[in-house]
Structure 1
Amino acid sequence: MARNISRWSLLLLVSTSVFLSVLDIFVVNGAIPSIKKGINGTDTDIQWVIVLYVLGYAAFLITGGRVGDYFGKKPVFIIGMAAFTLASCLCGLSHDAVQLNIGRTLQGISAAFMVPQGIAYIQVLFEDQRSRTKALGIYGSIAGAASVLGQFLGGMLPQVHSFIEGWRLIFLINVPIGIVTVYLAVKYLENTTIVRTKKFDWVGAFLLIVTLIFFIYPMIQGRELGWPVWILFIFGLSVITAVIFFLQQKTRQQKGMSNLIDTRVFTYKSFNIGLCASVFYFMVQDTYFLINVVLLQTGFGISSLDTGLYFMFQGVGYVIASLISIKLIPIYGKFVLIFGVIIMIISLAFHIIILDGIEMNTINIAAVFFIYGIGCGSVLPSLLTVSLRSLPSSLSGMASGTYSTFQQTAIALGISTIGGLFFNILEKPSINQEAYLTAYKTATFGNIVLLIIVAVFLLLLSNNNKPVKLS
């Protein structure tokens, strides 16, 4: 597969893609107030900084995997990594919200092309099931480490005082990593077999992208523009294009043509229920970080470094629980996830109590963040596995890509709805600490409702592995 380098070293090389893509989600969360000040942006601009990354990723993720099959995984991986590096440089050198959000969009799109190739290389490098399972575990651990490191760096780097503003470093640190990765990939990675048995579905890719843009744009921009008729019209168009996309995919499948989404996955009850649970869960995921960071840094005046350290406790709780939950899932199945969701709900209730009372101190804040991390670690690592466990193996690859697209879209939806609710309350003429607390409590209550819905869907999920199709 490669010259003078072990397959485990190549695993670390291709895992750089998921490391950087995850890092750039979490590192931004901790630096939101610093970024807003640096670009003189609005609350809506800040929402776009998060949303455009995940939207670009979601819109092109399935396409990225197909392009790797069609043109070869090595060139797509290299081009994707190089583009991500350049986009990171653009973000770090941006002077206003427009430039930054263009860079963030390009980051998300390039990540959608480089990450699927990294996952696919694992299948090629590790042909036996035992080593492949170990490799996937290492790959997942790297992604988990990136989330914890991102939370810390997002708090620390904005505090750095040097020749350049600290918030810019959260993007510019990607540049040397990306350059080294591209060099090593050119030198050591070998290309995979090119599969061009069927014509690529460019129309489907276009319809998917348009649908996601028409869906998310009104959700973010509508509040700031006062919900004019044309915004509602665009939102309505998203429903129409979604239906057209689904019918187009179904038609191509019936004709034996290549398509982006295998519509057969939606005929399995367990997948549909798991997908619904995942959508509501990921609506909470990034919203939690956004509203907590804004409350702590802007509302309470806590430094970004201290905020980052608080989130480190959340990350540690996540890692500990994820290691335990993975071992419990084969025994207790969905009940491990339900238990994790309950912990998250209880933790959010204590977030409100601690952050709005005389008991607010370093130990208590760290404790509720840690407990929330325990809940997340009990749910997130196995949510995909539980959702896909009843599907035939022939559909698992396609279902995984579909799941990831819905996951990223749900993150954007959560930022636009719960995040929008939070910022809408802050638009009151008098913004003081009490206003931040009111906005925070309202948004957190919204997240609690979403998690209750997640628990309901998980209860409906079958706890066996037998495929059950819809009648």
Structure 2
Amino acid sequence: MKHKYLKLLVILFGQLLTIMDIFIINVSIPSIQRNLDASNGEMQFMIAAYLIGFASFLITGGRLGDLYGRKKIYFIGLISFMVSSIACGISAGAEQLVISRFIQGISAAMMAPQVLSMIQILFTVHHERTKAMGWYGITIGIGTILGQFLGGYFSSLTIMEEPWRLIFLMNIPICLPAVFLSLKLLNESKTSVKQSFDMGGVVMLSAGLFCATYALTMSEHEGFHFKNAGLMVISAGIIFSFIKNQKRRVQNKRSYLIDFDLFRYKNFNLGIVAVSFFFIMLDSYFYILSLFFQDGLKISPLAAGEIIVFQGLGFILASAVSVKLILRYGKKALIAGLSFIIVILILQLFLFRIQIGFPIFCLLLFLHGLGVGSIIPSLANIALSGMSEKLIGNASGVYNTFQQVAAIIGIVAVGSVFYYFLGTKPLVKHYHNAFSVAILINILCLVFVIASVFKVPNHVLPEIRRKK
């Protein structure tokens, strides 16, 4: 049993790196721009490059693990992530940093599906898997907090001329033990059916996802102009052609990238719907909250960061505690957690309109984190439960892709609504109105998540009663 959890620790190193580097660059943007003499457009690419590379290659990463070995692809991802982090840290210009961040995102896409796949393979018993997914949730919380904290900490150091480089170079002492331990401890697993790799499918899908994620990510900064709208149309056409191509290849018994048997699992479909609406809610919430706090309520960036850290602390605590509730009450615990988030959002609608002290802000964010932390690990458990080992890598890649694309859609779509209600010359009351509309959209998303969880078969998240 202890050996299993040691292996879990090794694979969670990859998850920690993946999450941490999504957030770590945000606080360092001003110093990077100043030192590299980068334009605003180059800085936008710098932020977007990681997410675009990550979202575009998750399905490919999952399929590579299925065919060539999950340990092998995880190891390659770790090495690539370390090398690309070094390239980020020694970048001489903005263009080199953008390219290195893009490769870093692709490396993360090689690791992330293997993490979920290996958890499902390592922990076959429901209560063990639920506990393991609790640790998966804790890792997400730690990565979120560490990314924001360390980004600010290293950027403010005075021991060197360009301290922001340390936010990338600090990945080396995390990667090195992970590389060594993964070689020593992890067992290889892959599908027993020998197939060639569908490189044409990779090119088509990656191009389609690249166009979509690029257009959505850049729309956050530029607005949804003709160029981005055109890229979305091109993306839709490529992905439609890809789906037809994949179905034809499966029928002809040729190599493929996505096995559409995935979508015959009811719990997988429900898990995909649930995670999509949940991350539309979650990432748009953080985006709107940051704008509302700093621009609307005139809270300093440092104080806003401190408040959001309390959300992360609640997330970590809930990920640990919610395991017992999920095992005891099954999907009822999830529905209760989602309802709790709705209640906290409603409280924020009213309490943020009046003069409240710093401790109340922290408490409301902490409670929101408790709700979020009780949900995220189980959504992956719902989607991947009962999945055959042949499909698990494919399923993990598809699940992660939906999650990342939904997060970007949430920021762009809900952010656009927020700015619409804000107007051109916003006052404090306009910020309150725009925030209220955005929160109501978030609540609607959570209602869809509740409906999806409600339809999940009871055997997927069974209630385990203790014997008296």
Name the CA shift for 1:374/1:158 in 2 (closer, same or farther; >3 Å): same
Give 1:379's aligned residue: 375
Give 1:3's aligned residue: none
AA of the residue aligned to 2:283:
D
Matches of 2:94 and 2:430 in 1, distance apart?
Answer: 25
Matches of 1:12 and 1:223 in 2, distance apart?
Answer: 35
- Match 1:84 to one of 71, 81, 84: 81
What does the per-residue CA deviation read over 1:73-132, in whole Å, with 9 as the maximum and x for residues that have no partner? 555434322322233344445687655543332221111113344556667878999987
SS at match of 2:375: helix
Give 1:419's aligned residue: 415
Q: Which moved more, 1:147-156 or 1:255-264?
A: 147-156
SS at match of 2:60: helix
1:110 aligned to 2:110?
no
What does the per-residue CA deviation read over 1:39-97, in whole Å, with 9 as the maximum and x for residues that have no partner? 78888877755554333222212322333455555554343223222333444456876
Q: Which moved more, 1:277-286 or 1:30-39?
A: 30-39
Name the CA shift for 1:290/1:373 in 2 (closer, same or farther; >3 Å): same
Give 2:449's aligned residue: 454
Give 2:466's aligned residue: none
Give 2:464's aligned residue: none
SS at match of 1:15: helix
Name the CA shift for 1:285/1:101 in 2 (closer, same or farther; >3 Å): farther
Give 1:403's aligned residue: 399
Residue 281 of structure 1: CA displacement?
0.8
Name the CA shift for 1:168/1:311 in 2 (closer, same or farther; >3 Å): farther
Matches of 1:15 and 1:97 in 2, distance apart?
Answer: 31
- Match 2:334 to one of 309, 327, 337: 337
SS at match of 2:279: helix
SS at match of 1:368: helix
Name the CA shift for 1:258/1:141 in 2 (closer, same or farther; >3 Å): farther
Report matched runs for 1:146-161 at 5 Å.
146-161=143-158
Give 2:458's aligned residue: 464
Preserved contact between residue 30 and residue 308 of structure 1 (Cα < 8 Å): no
Matches of 1:386 and 1:393 in 2, distance apart?
Answer: 16
1:67 aligned to 2:61?
no
Preserved contact between residue 315 and residue 369 of structure 2 (Cα < 8 Å): yes
> In percent, how many aligned pairs have the same letter?
37
Matches of 2:67 and 2:301 in 1, distance apart?
Answer: 44
Matches of 1:280 and 1:270 in 2, distance apart?
Answer: 15
1:175 aligned to 2:172?
yes
Matches of 2:113 and 2:393 in 1, distance apart?
Answer: 11
AA of the residue aligned to 1:339:
A
1:234 aligned to 2:228?
no
Matches of 1:351 and 1:418 in 2, distance apart?
Answer: 17
Matches of 1:164 and 1:437 in 2, distance apart?
Answer: 41
Give 1:280's aligned residue: 277
Matches of 1:183 and 1:18 in 2, distance apart?
Answer: 16
Residue 395 of structure 1: CA displacement?
4.7
AA of the residue aligned to 2:395:
A
Preserved contact between residue 152 and residue 311 of structure 1 (Cα < 8 Å): no
Give 1:249's aligned residue: 246
Give 1:348's aligned residue: 345
Give 1:214's aligned residue: 211
SS at match of 1:213: helix
Residue 21 of structure 1: CA displacement?
0.8
What does the per-residue CA deviation read over 1:376-407, in whole Å, with 9 as the maximum and x for residues that have no partner? 02221211223444767765554333212211
SS at match of 2:160: coil
1:319 aligned to 2:316?
yes
Preserved contact between residue 354 and residue 365 of structure 1 (Cα < 8 Å): no
Matches of 2:443 and 2:35 in 1, distance apart?
Answer: 32
Preserved contact between residue 155 and residue 307 of structure 1 (Cα < 8 Å): no
What does the per-residue CA deviation read over 1:125-183, in whole Å, with 9 as the maximum and x for residues that have no partner? 78999987766655554444333433443454444444245655433322332345446
SS at match of 2:377: helix
Matches of 2:442 and 2:163 in 1, distance apart?
Answer: 31
What does the per-residue CA deviation read over 1:340-384, in whole Å, with 9 as the maximum and x for residues that have no partner? 22222232233344444312x211110110111121022212112
Matches of 2:429 and 2:203 in 1, distance apart?
Answer: 45
Name the CA shift for 1:36/1:423 in 2 (closer, same or farther; >3 Å): farther
Question: TM-score when scaled to structure 2?
Answer: 0.80
Residue 217 of structure 1: CA displacement?
2.9
AA of the residue aligned to 1:253:
V
Q: Which moved more, 1:159-168 or 1:411-420?
A: 159-168
Matches of 1:38 and 1:297 in 2, distance apart?
Answer: 25
**Gap regions ≥5 residues in structure 1:** 1-5
Preserved contact between residue 70 and residue 114 of structure 2 (Cα < 8 Å): yes
Residue 24 of structure 1: CA displacement?
1.8
AA of the residue aligned to 2:284:
T
Report matched runs for 1:296-311 at 5 Å.
296-297=293-294, 302-311=299-308
AA of the residue aligned to 1:145:
I
AA of the residue aligned to 2:78:
M
**Gap regions ≥5 residues in structure 2:** 462-468
Preserved contact between residue 333 and residue 386 of structure 1 (Cα < 8 Å): no
Report matched runs for 1:3-152 at 5 Å.
11-28=8-25, 51-73=48-70, 76-92=73-89, 99-118=96-115, 138=135, 141-152=138-149
Name the CA shift for 1:212/1:125 in 2 (closer, same or farther; >3 Å): closer
